Copies of this chain bind each other. A is one copy, B any other.
């Protein structure tokens, strides 16, 4: 392996000069710099990142942490996040992927190992981790879950507003018997979406019927079961909002099984806009959650934070969008 010392020998200068020349330090004369750069290129010099890391106390690594990799994280979520991040991240940073639930010792989460950390957070349980990162002074952006803490950079979708708009739309289509299949208990997103649902009903002076609030856990199966219980009610709803698309697909299956026609007999709205929402039968009307955009914006902010740790933390909201398809009928 070629080192700056090798280049120095060839160029007839000290290794420090080489270092400066290659790092754009203005103390070096232009001709010297050009000559050294040329030699470095010819010799196929590639910097040793371990040595750089040691001396610079930088790792050239960004950590992406999900609440869990195994459980509760949908595939599209993970992929869209990675895509969004890669689209703005400099090539000589590498991105490592972790599940917070898989970490044995927070001790291993150190500034020397991560130049910055993105937490794609889904639950309050992540807070212990988040505050550890903050305490260690590692530049940090929390994505996807709204934090109350104004000291932490935070990028989220306005789930609540998005759901409200969707239910407003449903009401405008003539629906008044609106039910919800809620997300996983303890997840911030669950309460946010439920709030948006209620916001709309309240604005439209529609009653909040306790039987129309069915529990779910974001899993496909839970959507199936929740829908079964809603259909079993003496007076079933005319429309059901599912707190994510996976549950909407489960709910749709329950309708197939019971012979309920969508949207003829029952309308359905999802949340997330996963790839397959477009391809259910009928195509699912859902709220598009811009995971890639969130990740992109979050990464941009993280980079700012890494450049200048004193960048003021912000609470940023990315807009959701209602995707009107075929699962909601006018009554």
Chain B residues closer than 8 Å to A113, beta-carbon distance? 49, 94
* Residue pair A102, B79 in contact (C-beta under 8 Å): no
A80 CB to closest chain B CB, in angstroms? 8
Chain B residues closer than 8 Å to A276, beta-carbon distance? 220, 249, 276
* Residue pair B50, A54 in contact (C-beta under 8 Å): yes
Chain B residues closer than 8 Å to A98, beta-carbon distance? 94-95
Q: Is A27 an interface residue (CB 8 A)?
A: no
Residue among A63, A75, A112 with max Cβ neighbours from chain B (10 Å): A75
B50, B75, B86, B278: the one contacting A75 at CB < 8 Å is B75
Q: A53-B50, A112-B1, A250-B279 are in contact. Are A82 and B86 (CB under 8 A)?
A: no
Q: Is A23 an interface residue (CB 8 A)?
A: no
Q: Is A121 an interface residue (CB 8 A)?
A: no
A209 CB to closest chain B CB, in angstroms? 28
Q: Is A108 an interface residue (CB 8 A)?
A: yes
Chain B residues closer than 8 Å to A310, beta-carbon distance? none
Chain B residues closer than 8 Å to A48, beta-carbon distance? 54, 112
Q: A86-B102, A102-B91 are in contact. Are A275 and B76 (CB under 8 A)?
A: no
Contacts from A to B (Cβ < 8 Å): 1, 44, 46, 48-51, 53-54, 57, 59, 61, 63, 69-70, 73, 75-76, 78-80, 82-83, 86, 91-92, 94-99, 102-104, 107-108, 110, 112-113, 220, 249-250, 252-253, 256, 275-276, 278-279, 281
